Structure 1
Amino acid sequence: MELSRADLEILVALQENSRLTNRELAKRLGAAESTTHERLRRLVRGGVIKRFTAEIDLAALGRPMQAMIAVRLRPQSEDVVERFLRTVMDDPCVVDAIVVSGEIDVLLRVAVQSAEHLRTFAWRKVTSAKSVQSITTHLVYEYRRRPITAPP
C-alpha cells in the first residue's frame, strides 16, 4: 500500500495519541472529517494499522524497574524457541519478547518491582527452562519510542 503524506501524518498522530477523535485528527491534518475518516479506514483495512492500544506506565503499576534479558538457547530450533516462549510469556513481568538472530536467540523486556524480583524471575523462570544455555541481564535506564512513519 502506498502511503501519502496525509496517511503518514495520521500514523504519527495516532502513535502519539490513539484516542484522538476523527474531528481532532481532521483538524490536525487540515482536512475534512470525511476525508480523514476514509483515510483511517483504508489504513486499517490495508493492515497498516493493526490495532489501537494504550501505552501503560509500568511504574504506575508498581513495576518501575525494567531490564532486557538476552537468552541463549540450545539446541537452536523453532520448537525450542516456541517452548521457551510459552514458558516465559505467561509471567506478568514480561513486556516484550523478541526472537533475534546471532549469538542470542531471544530478548525479553521485563518490568519488575525490584532487583530481587528481577533476580527471582531470571533464576526461577528463565533459567528453569532446560533449553537455556545462558542469560545476560541489562538494566534499562531509559526507554524511548519514536513514531514509525514509513520505510527507511
Structure 2
Amino acid sequence: MQISSTDRAILATVQENSRISNRELAARVGLAESTTHERVRRLVEAGVISRFTADIDPAALGRPMQALIAVQLRPQSAEVVTKFLDAVVDDPCVLDATVLSGETDVLIRVAVASSEALRTFAWQKITSVPSVRSIQTHIVYEHRRGSTVTTADPSD
C-alpha cells in the first residue's frame, strides 16, 4: 500500500489521540469528513492501523513498579520461545514481551504492586518454565513512550 503525506498526517494524529472524532481529524488534516473516514478505513483494512487503544497508567491501577526481565532460554528454538510466551504473557502484570536476538531471548516488561510481587512473578511464573536458563531483572526508574511508529517518509 502506498502511504501518502496525507495518510502520514492521519496516522500521526491518530497515534496522538485514537479517540479523536472524524470531524476533528478531517479538520486537522484538511480533508472532507467523508474522505478522512474512507482513508482511515483503508488504513485499517490494509493493516497499517492494527488497533485503536488507550494508554493506561499502571500506577493508577495499583501497579506503580515496572521492571524489565531479560530471559535466556535453552534450547533455543521457535517452539521453546512460543511455549515460554504462552506460559507467561497472559499474566496480568505483563505489559509486553519482545523476542530478541543475542544473549537475551525474551525481554518482558511488567508492572507490579511491589518488589514482593515482582519477586513472586519472576520466581514462581518465569523460572517455573523448564526451558528458562536464566533471568535478569532490571527495575525501571522512568518510562517514556514515543510515538509507536514514525510517520515520517522513510525516503526523506
Q: Which residue of the partner structure matches residue 2 of structure 2?
A: 2
Structure 1 residue matching 2:3: 3-state secondary structure:
coil
Which runs of 5 or more residues in structure 2 are unaligned? none
Deviations, residues 59-83 of structure 1 (Å, cap 9, x unaligned) = 1111111111000000111111111
Flag the 1:5–1:64 CA change in 2: closer, same or farther, 3 A: same
- Rounded to whole Å, the distance in 2 between the matches of 1:135 and 1:60 is 28
Shift of 1:90: 2.3
Q: Which residue of the partner structure matches residue 116 of structure 2?
A: 116
The one-letter code sitting in structure 1 at the alignment partner of 2:104 is I
Which runs of 5 or more residues in structure 1 are unaligned? none
Structure 1 residue matching 2:135: 3-state secondary structure:
strand
Structure 1 residue matching 2:82: 3-state secondary structure:
helix
- Rounded to whole Å, the distance in 1 between the matches of 2:121 and 2:20 is 37
Structure 2 residue matching 1:139: 3-state secondary structure:
strand
- Rounded to whole Å, the distance in 2 between the matches of 1:96 and 1:150 is 25
Q: Which residue of the partner structure matches residue 127 of structure 2?
A: 127
Shift of 1:151: 6.5
- Rounded to whole Å, the distance in 2 between the matches of 1:150 and 1:131 is 41
TM-score where L is the length of structure 1 = 0.95
Q: Which residue of the partner structure matches residue 43 of structure 2?
A: 43
Structure 1 runs (4+) greater than 2 angstroms displaced: none
Shift of 1:150: 4.7
Shift of 1:43: 0.7
The one-letter code sitting in structure 2 at the alignment partner of 1:41 is R
- Rounded to whole Å, the distance in 2 between the matches of 1:86 and 1:150 is 35
Q: Identity, % of aligned pairs?
A: 68
What count of residue pairs does the alignment treat as equivalent?
Answer: 152
Deviations, residues 91-118 of structure 1 (Å, cap 9, x unaligned) = 1101101111111110100000011111
- Rounded to whole Å, the distance in 1 between the matches of 2:6 and 2:35 is 10
Structure 1 residue matching 2:109: 3-state secondary structure:
strand
- Rounded to whole Å, the distance in 2 between the matches of 1:90 and 1:23 is 37
Deviations, residues 102-138 of structure 1 (Å, cap 9, x unaligned) = 1111010000001111111111111111111111111
The one-letter code sitting in structure 2 at the alignment partner of 1:115 is S
- Are 2:53 and 1:53 aligned? yes
Structure 2 residue matching 1:15: 3-state secondary structure:
helix
- Rounded to whole Å, the distance in 1 between the matches of 2:145 and 2:75 is 33
Structure 1 residue matching 2:36: 3-state secondary structure:
helix
Q: Which residue of the partner structure matches residue 31 of structure 1?
A: 31
Q: Which residue of the partner structure matches residue 80 of structure 2?
A: 80
- Rounded to whole Å, the distance in 1 between the matches of 2:152 and 2:120 is 40
Structure 2 residue matching 1:91: 3-state secondary structure:
coil
- Rounded to whole Å, the distance in 2 between the matches of 1:3 and 1:65 is 39
- Rounded to whole Å, the distance in 1 between the matches of 2:52 and 2:152 is 18
